[in-house]
Structure 1
């Protein structure tokens, strides 16, 4: 079974289990209920398709599923917009490698265009920024972006990954006062990325390592949540600059659709803005010194 087939199976099972039959107008279900959530027969009934067809879809054995059928399943399972997008991504059949082996298919190396690196440098002093690639790898950054959540320049290239840093580095729990929220955000983004690239080798590698090494990641990943977080506000407790409150925005690069530019800013004149400027110059800004 290909990784993509595993994804759709686990995702639909989790979404079935998360629904209360009473929420969808099935208070009694089909006789005595032995499992939590909706049964396959009930999802098929709500979606207006045969039970056999739904089972084949859930098992990743349906050769081609129309948008109308996916929409019907999404309505039956009360999926969010992000979850609908994820379902569409993992429902697309993947071709097995020529040798018949299942697993992750090699893809092109992730590189950042010189023009994007020039943009990052131009943003420095006022905007902290990083470029994320497939699997949440951190591909490029400016000075303040590289020092905001950790010292990226000091890490080996294969460890410059948002998910690995959040779940496996003890310092992440100190830097993010709301670590649980940050962890949930990372899992949701990684799940969405795995939907876009179900058999990408780097995503497989990152997810595999986290499943092996982090019980918290295993728990969150098993929940099958797809909550891609592209903007918001977060607090960061920097070991030199102190605590900052920053807003972040994510921009998918048009010429490089697998890459996302993430920017971090603070209100003009605020103490957090002064501390961001200090990160760009390498000078710490102690508490109470903003001007």
Structure 2
């Protein structure tokens, strides 16, 4: 999909979720031909011509000024993540690059992951391939897979593929729908940041074909950074446990992220995590 089409799809989806009443316009009644705001209404409120906004939505106008994009974001009531996504999409598409080499974890990062034995820790790449994990993370998320799978690019577990296509992973999350919404919103942001990455585009294409649930969430155009969250897991060995997750971008590694899972000290989940650590070492 071309960058201009992504921009147009995103703008249309944000227009469709607003009504004239939401932004203080008078609705004179009658049936509206399209849901949400009309192009003319959005253009007027943002202070641009209808013709210019139409070209922007059609992907025919590149490098819109920051002032115009900020005005559109204000009228569309975009949050910080959505506004940053809009700015990325509105820029000239990047030059097509040669197919990138398989992602690899730096030795120092790998050593850090392996040295953390008490908590689940993993590193995942731009396309959410698992690049490294310790034994506790493996026991928590994917004990049915080989522990050494991340070492082999052709066998690497993919967090989104597991989430939508693997029954074990679906059963693991007490609120699978919430996890799925967050995962797709985060993948939308990644696709905007790395539109030239064929691995990301191939993953999106595969999941669109194989999962109706993914397709529905993808078409909603929700964007959100998933940097920390709390989730409840239904683990088949240690039972229910609620874990907080902190996700950190590795600044020198082109989109790789480090995820650390932990539980509140003294809680039943903390004890379950201790039991899981024993299972992973057994």
Q: TM-score, normalised by structure 2?
A: 0.91
What is the 5 A alignment of 1:12-91? 12-28=11-27, 33-91=32-90
Give 3-state SS (helix, strand or coil) of 1:131's partner: strand
Gaps of 5+ in 1: 98-103, 286-291
Aligned equivalent of 2:167, options 149, 156, 170: 170
Aligned equivalent of 2:146, options 144, 153, 169: 153
Q: Flag the 1:278–1:253 CA change in 2: closer, same or farther, 3 A.
A: same
Aligned equivalent of 2:108, options 115, 118, 128: 115
Gaps of 5+ in 2: none
CA apart distance, 1:32: 5.5
CA apart distance, 1:63: 2.5
Contact 1:135 1:202 in 2 (8 A): yes
RMSD of aligned Cα (Å): 2.2
Tell me the alpha carbon deviations over residues 195-228 of structure 1, each in whole angstroms, 9 at most, x when there is no partner. Answer: 1112311111111011001111111111111122
Contact 2:62 2:90 in 1 (8 A): no
Q: Flag the 1:80–1:29 CA change in 2: closer, same or farther, 3 A.
A: farther
Give 3-state SS (helix, strand or coil) of 1:225's partner: coil
Give 3-state SS (helix, strand or coil) of 1:262's partner: strand
Alignment-derived partner of residue 227 in structure 2: 230
Aligned equivalent of 1:124, options 117, 124, 144: 117
Tell me the alpha carbon deviations over residues 130-179 of structure 1, each in whole angstroms, 9 at most, x when there is no partner. Answer: 11211222111111112212135355745511111111111222111101
Aligned equivalent of 2:201, options 196, 204, 208: 204
CA apart distance, 1:42: 1.3
Q: Flag the 1:128–1:168 CA change in 2: closer, same or farther, 3 A.
A: same
Contact 2:128 2:159 in 1 (8 A): yes
For residues 28 and 44 of structure 2, what CA distance do their matches in structure 1 show? 11
For residues 117 and 187 of structure 2, what CA distance do their matches in structure 1 show? 27
Contact 2:238 2:272 in 1 (8 A): yes
Give 3-state SS (helix, strand or coil) of 2:122's partner: strand
Contact 2:135 2:281 in 1 (8 A): no
Aligned equivalent of 2:127, options 120, 135, 140: 135
Contact 2:94 2:196 in 1 (8 A): no
Q: How many residues align?
A: 277
CA apart distance, 1:259: 0.9
Q: Flag the 1:32–1:270 CA change in 2: closer, same or farther, 3 A.
A: closer
For residues 81 and 168 of structure 1, what CA distance do their matches in structure 2 show? 31
For residues 247 and 131 of structure 1, what CA distance do their matches in structure 2 show? 16
For residues 178 and 278 of structure 2, what CA distance do their matches in structure 1 show? 30
1:193 and 2:185 are equivalent in the alignment: no
Tell me the alpha carbon deviations over residues 104-131 of structure 1, each in whole angstroms, 9 at most, x when there is no partner. Answer: 8633431110101111112122x21111
For residues 134 and 168 of structure 2, what CA distance do their matches in structure 1 show? 21
Q: TM-score, normalised by structure 1?
A: 0.88
CA apart distance, 1:55: 1.4
Contact 1:250 1:262 in 2 (8 A): yes
